[in-house]
């Protein structure tokens, strides 16, 4: 009898181990999260032995893919709107904010962009402005929100910026690398744009491609704050909640901080 119980226990343990190894988490995530989520996936896989596959792109396009039937266990978006829509439609089981970002002006030294002259440079008719694509990419939505805030500082700014901004990334047909380079880098190098508006968290990645690139923070009165949300999907793999919690853990938040995101879940440092 004892041997029989031992055998059944052993079989159960083997079955559970095999199930854990067979489980794969599929994460769809915003392109700006590529480096951070990749590292988190590797860490989680090492700790749990559960495979994590990732796919990156503009958040709006990823949400549309999910709505059309593309499978995801978790969806990490560069905004809260897309995850909340999936939740409202009954596609996501729960949603939480997991980090923040910021917008910066991205430029080479030539335009002389500073925080003090930020809006004047953007409004300068001689300065070519590149942006992301609203609706398909939250970076574009945040940028247009910045344009609206600029209008309160400088009457007519919104109309000027809305007209001159060229959407060079973040859309269905303009998000791929150009000549092996990020679209922003490619645009700056050939002179297609003089300044781009993008996430400050891209500093390390773009600097590797273009060492002279500068990231300049806008003045506070026109700043808009990107807030990132994660959705655990209905019918997700059993460890999806655990991976989402890992993103919110001190270890996960420290990873986001190293990639220039603003953590939302780190303890207050001791003084």
User: Taken in order 56, 83, 216, 161, is the CA torsion positive or negative?
Assistant: positive
Residue 146 or residue 270, greater confidence: 146
Domains and CATH numbers, the chain: 2-100+227-263 (3.40.190.10), 103-222 (3.40.190.10)
Check pLDDT > 80 for residue 268.
no
pLDDT attached to residue 17: 40
Q: In the prediction, which pLDDT does 174 show? A: 79
Bridge partners of 186, per DSSP, are none
Report the C-alpha gap between 133 and 171 in whole angstroms. 5
**What pLDDT does 180 receive?**
82
| pLDDT value, residue 262 | 95
Q: Which pLDDT tens digit goes with each residue over 58-102?
A: 999 999 999 999 999 999 999 999 999 999 999 999 999 999 999
Mean pLDDT, rounded, for 35-63? 97
Within the chain, strands assigned E span: 24-30, 51-57, 74-77, 92-100, 103-107, 129-131, 166-167, 195-199, 214-216, 227-233, 262-263
- Mean pLDDT to the nearest integer, 155-183: 90
The span from the CA of 30 to the CA of 76, in Å, is 6
The candidate with the shortest Cα–Cα distance to 40, out of 269, 258, 227, is 258
Mean pLDDT of 202-220: 96
| Residue % of the chain over a pLDDT of 70 | 91
pLDDT class for 26, splitting at 50, 70, 90?
A: very high
Closest by Cα among 48, 63, 43 to 230:
63
Using one digit for the tens of pLDDT, what is the confidence trace for 3-22? 445 444 443 443 444 444 45
Give the model's pLDDT for residue 22. 56
Grouping H, G, I as helix, E, B as strand and the rest as coil, residue 161 is: helix
pLDDT of 67 reads 98
What's the pLDDT score for residue 6?
41
pLDDT digits (tens, 9 = 90+) for 97-137: 999 999 999 999 999 999 999 999 999 999 999 999 999 99
Q: For residue range 179-198, list pLDDT tens digits in order.
A: 788 999 999 999 999 999 99
pLDDT of residue 178: 72
Comparing C-alpha atoms, which of 138, 84, 118, 123 is closest to residue 221? 118
């Amino acid at each position: 009898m004892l041997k029989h119980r031992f055998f059944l226990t052993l079989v159960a343990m083997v079955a559970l181990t095999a199930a854990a190894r067979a489980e794969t988490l599929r994460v769809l995530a915003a392109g700006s999260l590529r480096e951070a989520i990749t590292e988190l996936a590797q860490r989680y896989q090492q700790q749990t032995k559960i495979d994590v596959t990732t796919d990156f792109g503009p958040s709006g396009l990823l949400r549309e893919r999910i709505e059309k039937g593309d499978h995801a266990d978790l969806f990490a978006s560069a905004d809260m709107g897309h995850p909340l829509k999936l939740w409202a439609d009954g596609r996501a089981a729960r949603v939480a904010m997991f980090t923040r970002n910021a917008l910066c002006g991205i430029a080479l030294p030539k335009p002389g962009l500073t925080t003090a002259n930020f809006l004047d440079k953007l409004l300068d008719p001689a300065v070519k402005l590149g942006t992301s694509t609203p609706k398909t990419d939250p970076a574009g939505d945040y940028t247009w929100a910045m344009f609206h805030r600029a209008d309160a500082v400088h009457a007519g700014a919104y109309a000027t910026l809305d007209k001159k901004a060229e959407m060079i990334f973040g859309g269905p047909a303009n998000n791929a690398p150009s000549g092996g380079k990020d679209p922003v880098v490619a645009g700056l190098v050939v002179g297609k744009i003089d300044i781009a508006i993008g996430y400050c968290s891209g500093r390390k990645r773009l600097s590797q491609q273009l060492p002279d690139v500068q990231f300049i923070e806008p003045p506070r009165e026109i700043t808009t704050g990107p807030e990132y949300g994660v959705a655990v999907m209905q019918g997700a793999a059993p460890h999806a909640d655990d991976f989402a919690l890992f993103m919110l853990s001190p270890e996960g938040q420290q990873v986001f901080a190293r990639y220039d995101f603003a953590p939302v879940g780190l303890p207050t440092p001791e003084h």
